[in-house]
């Protein structure tokens, strides 16, 4: 690995490890918990504390780098930053609040728009899912093999039941659920991308995700031979809020056909 990349990766892991220590204990009873856009969209003081820690560390160690984080309200990096950190301080906040399990810190580092480093750390399981472009992907330092094809009827998909309440989205979820072996909902998008890369899921679909939800996951998917597409069955050409579907090779083509045939609205 190039020296600069190795240094960036090492520091990013250090920041994640430091941040994770803030999340190991359950929330105190009087902790501040607010809901943002809906009852399933929570934010706690710990989400903000972790993001703040990353801002301090990245600014201190890499002052020229840009930062996009969920809790800061900036949806795009400042102009002129070649390297950008996409940070989800807690992915799976609802799990963090209710179960204190199945939540991760997700960090994707992009250079000139290309994914370079992805780190997804499951704090309670102490599982590090990480990848560096061109170097491979690892789970707790053990290299992850490239994924191979899985037949739809033998595939396990990550899918959140919430999408069953929306018209055209309901249709695609019902169709997929009918055709695959089974579905799971872990409630943390980044973790579900990591699970596809690591062989615990064969596909994952979500109708609305933001850059911090998928940036790290994309690097893991690419390094394990998996792919991602929009829920309209097209290429991902922007880092906007959008629906994303990920799958192992082979199954991705089948998935694309299903998505294109069902025709999901862009809204």
- What residue ranges bind ligand IPD (CB under 6 A)? 41, 70, 88, 91-93, 160, 187-189, 206, 208-209, 213
Q: Does 222 bind Ca ion (CB under 5 A)?
A: no
Whole-angstrom distance, CA of residue 27 vs CA of residue 14: 23
Q: Are the CB atoms for 3 and 100 separated by under 8 Å?
A: no
CB of 141 to ligand IPD, least distance (A): 25
Whole-angstrom distance, CA of residue 38 vs CA of residue 3: 44
CB of 251 to ligand IPD, least distance (A): 21
Whole-angstrom distance, CA of residue 63 vs CA of residue 55: 10
Q: Which residues sit in the known binding site for Mg(2+)?
A: 70, 88, 90-91, 213
92 binds, among Ca ion, ligand IPD, none (CB under 5 to 8 A by kind): ligand IPD
Helices 189-198 and 211-223 meet at what angle, rounded to 10? 0
HSE of 206, CA atoms in CB hemisphere, 13 A: 20
CB of 240 to ligand IPD, least distance (A): 14
Q: Does 122 bind Ca ion (CB under 5 A)?
A: no
CB of 92 to ligand IPD, least distance (A): 5
Tell me the pairing of strands 156-159 and 182-184: parallel
Candidate list 51, 91, 192, 222; residue touching Ca ion; CB under 5 A: 91
Return residues touching Ca ion (CB under 5 A).
Answer: 70, 88, 90-91, 213
């Amino acid at each position: 690995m190039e020296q600069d990349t190795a240094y960036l990766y090492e520091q990013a892991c250090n920041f994640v490890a430091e941040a994770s220590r803030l999340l190991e204990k359950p929330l105190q009873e009087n902790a501040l918990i607010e809901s943002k856009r809906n009852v399933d969209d929570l934010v706690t003081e710990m989400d903000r504390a972790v993001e703040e820690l990353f801002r301090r560390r990245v600014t201190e160690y890499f002052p020229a780098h840009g930062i996009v984080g969920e809790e800061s309200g900036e949806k795009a990096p400042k102009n002129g930053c070649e390297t950008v950190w996409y940070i989800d301080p807690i992915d799976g906040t609802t799990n963090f609040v209710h179960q204190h399990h199945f939540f991760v810190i997700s960090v994707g580092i992009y250079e000139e728009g290309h994914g370079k480093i992805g780190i997804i750390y499951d704090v309670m399981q102490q599982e590090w899912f990480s990848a560096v472009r061109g170097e491979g992907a690892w789970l707790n330092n053990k290299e992850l093999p490239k994924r191979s094809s899985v037949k739809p009827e033998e595939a396990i998909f990550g899918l959140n039941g919430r999408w069953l309440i929306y018209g055209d989205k309901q249709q695609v979820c019902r169709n997929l659920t009918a055709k695959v072996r089974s579905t799971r909902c872990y409630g943390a998008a980044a973790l579900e991308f990591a699970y596809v890369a690591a062989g615990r899921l064969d596909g994952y679909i979500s109708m609305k995700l933001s850059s911090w939800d998928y940036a790290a996951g994309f690097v893991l998917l690419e390094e394990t031979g998996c792919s991602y597409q929009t829920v309209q069955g097209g290429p991902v050409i922007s880092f906007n809020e959008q629906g994303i579907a990920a799958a192992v090779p082979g199954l991705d083509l089948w998935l694309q056909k299903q998505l294109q045939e069902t025709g999901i609205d862009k809204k």
